[in-house]
Structure 1
């Protein structure tokens, strides 16, 4: 039971399976009226949870981005700024290459698979009641407010306001870890149960199985590119360096957390022969701000879900989304599910995902969370190699 309690991936898988099984067999066990009444209980919960998410997402954006910008701006060394810049560049590279590959592969891979027509003809169950929770700010207002405040407090020495936002960040992280993440499996359970009722489920599962394989291949390709670039800059053998970092990769597969993998990542990075002061600063920092593998998953999953729902994909709009996503990834907490919770606001506001699409996005993301996290932390070694070369004969103060 502890294994299930402490493993979000297992909880999500059980929620998906449970939602599918009960959605399929409730009408067999009971009559249609009773079955619909049971499903409506979960529809009611999902409606309330969606309202809560819509209310809290702007607070997540402010609570994570303001301290991230403020802390980087008050960094004690050039190394912090270089690390942040390279991590952001790596994230953008992952995002734009994934966009190109996904647009080339997914239209044919997902041809003739759409949930639009089914959604139009299916009987949609309504909640027993709903509770409106208007957000304090919309998503774009929260983003601009976070940038302005973050840049402002970064310019103030010993800012009391920054200390306040650091405490607010702790509150946001506690709500994510103790309320949102624990309730996500129940939310996803209800979504999949309702999808069985509407007839959309088999299309969704078919899509899941196809894009998971494609994204895993792209993760491997991303790591090879990162290490060949780092190897060319640092004059090291990229394959040997990547092999050295593999223990961190496999540790992250089990922990699903960049932060929890830091001790192993530090140990393996030291085996690359890098400067200790470089390693001790960049590896913990990258565990929080370098989420190229997570960006790759979010971009690919977004495109796949937009295609099967008939949502128009505008390259310019999606480019803006990738730039904003890179900032959200820098601010995301290094805990299981942290990246998708930091990104879900801009996914909804910039790509037009409704609550059901957001739930599918979360499900698909977490189904591959281990592989994305493993890609993130392994790529941290490549960034450390580049920074070691840049600061070989320079002060890091």
Structure 2
């Protein structure tokens, strides 16, 4: 009965997100400038609220999760960062070798049609986050580790209460508002012309990236299943809402509440590993975006400079990109902006190449983000196999009990 209710809730959110994408695309295609200004205002305010909650969610889940890990905390942190780096490097390597087989034979256009500018938001309510996502991540780690080392029982109890408070915010406010934010996002894309004028470019380049995403997710979940000794489908089947939310928000950070909700519903993952790795992965694991950008720099290099960078150059780029991706913010365009230094310094892109990379990357940002978020489930499964063989992370309330819906979504 509980499983049926849980599945019904997942499908309810999926249906709402699909309807939001379709409605947003239709409205944006026919919207006047005045209506679009109103929609942009809604998106701005909702985005401000959602992104305000993200650092709080990171602190609320990672810090108490660390205190529950006890002696495994430092080991799990090191393993999580290492796995995220290897995943990014592996995804970029897959993109390079796959791209070498396909890109030279593609008919790549020599120019990108300009987009229609979105009108300014008629109303803006700024709600800046109390700290950046990376600051929140570091603060959560320090808070959790020092509380654990000093046996600060009062602080630890407070962290667990803060976790419950933010869980209430996620279930009763953030998740219900996401379909509206997704609809506004896709209305903007349709109004700009991304979904129509640039469709040929979108299909050609992004289709190759999507194939790469599927392959890499299959690899990650296969490894996760082998390491944990569990069927990876027990995790992957719950990630539909998170994938669609990421497609709509184009942000790993904004998708974090839904991703946590999805991962906690899996009976293959303990609460300890989920509350630790999903927020961590949402901040540092950007394999899908890395894979896509690697393909795009190859395409743009061929388009503007007449050749794909050499193997040695791409190897240096990929190894460094894995590091830069860990520090990239989980916000729209965060990966490409974090990599600008090596795009210019290693690949030698000029301003025209950088501008084109940013423009093309924006066309697929949603799909790369969806791959990032969905891959976090596989990384959590790997940690489950490495640190929860004896079930020591599963003590206390089960994940399904913990995530009883506060109200239907």
Q: Structure 1 residues 163, 170: closer, same or farther in 2, change over 3 A? A: same
Q: Structure 1 residues 388, 109: closer, same or farther in 2, change over 3 A? A: same
Secondary structure at the aligned position of 1:245 is classed as coil
Secondary structure at the aligned position of 2:119 is classed as coil
2:349 corresponds to: none
> Is 2:88 aligned against 1:117?
no
* Partner Cα separation in structure 2 for residue 161 and residue 348 of structure 1: 37
* Partner Cα separation in structure 1 for residue 111 and residue 119 of structure 2: 21
Secondary structure at the aligned position of 2:267 is classed as helix
> Is 2:300 aligned against 1:296?
no
Paired residues of 1:43 and 1:194 also in contact (CA < 8 A): no
Taking only aligned residues, the RMSD between alpha carbons, in angstroms, comes to 5.1
Paired residues of 2:91 and 2:291 also in contact (CA < 8 A): yes
Which structure 2 residues correspond to residues 263-302 of structure 1 after superposition, within 5 A? 265-266=267-268, 281-282=272-273, 295-302=286-293
Q: Structure 1 residues 99, 155: closer, same or farther in 2, change over 3 A? A: same
1:101 corresponds to: 94
Count the aligned residue pairs.
333
State the Cα distance separating 1:216 from its structure 2 match. Answer: 0.8
State the Cα distance separating 1:392 from its structure 2 match. Answer: 10
Unaligned runs of 5+ in 1: 24-34, 232-240, 270-278, 329-341
2:142 corresponds to: 151
Which structure 2 residues correspond to residues 6-155 of structure 1 after superposition, within 5 A? 6-8=12-14, 11-12=17-18, 15=21, 19=25, 23=29, 38-41=31-34, 43-45=36-38, 47-49=40-42, 51-52=44-45, 55-56=48-49, 59-75=52-68, 77-106=70-99, 109=102, 113=108, 117-119=112-114, 124-127=116-119, 130-132=122-124, 136=128, 143-144=134-135, 147-148=138-139, 151-152=142-143, 154-155=145-146
1:385 corresponds to: 385
Return the match for 2:185 from 187, 199, 206. Answer: 187
Which structure 2 residues correspond to residues 216-255 of structure 1 after superposition, within 5 A? 216-226=214-224, 230=227, 241=229, 244-249=230-235, 251-252=237-238
* Partner Cα separation in structure 1 for residue 225 and residue 293 of structure 2: 27
State the Cα distance separating 1:323 from its structure 2 match. Answer: 1.6
State the Cα distance separating 1:93 from its structure 2 match. Answer: 1.6
TM-score of the superposed pair, with normalisation by structure 1: 0.61
State the Cα distance separating 1:215 from its structure 2 match. Answer: 1.3
Unaligned runs of 5+ in 2: 1-7, 243-258, 341-356, 396-409
State the Cα distance separating 1:143 from its structure 2 match. Answer: 2.8
TM-score of the superposed pair, with normalisation by structure 2: 0.59
State the Cα distance separating 1:195 from its structure 2 match. Answer: 1.5
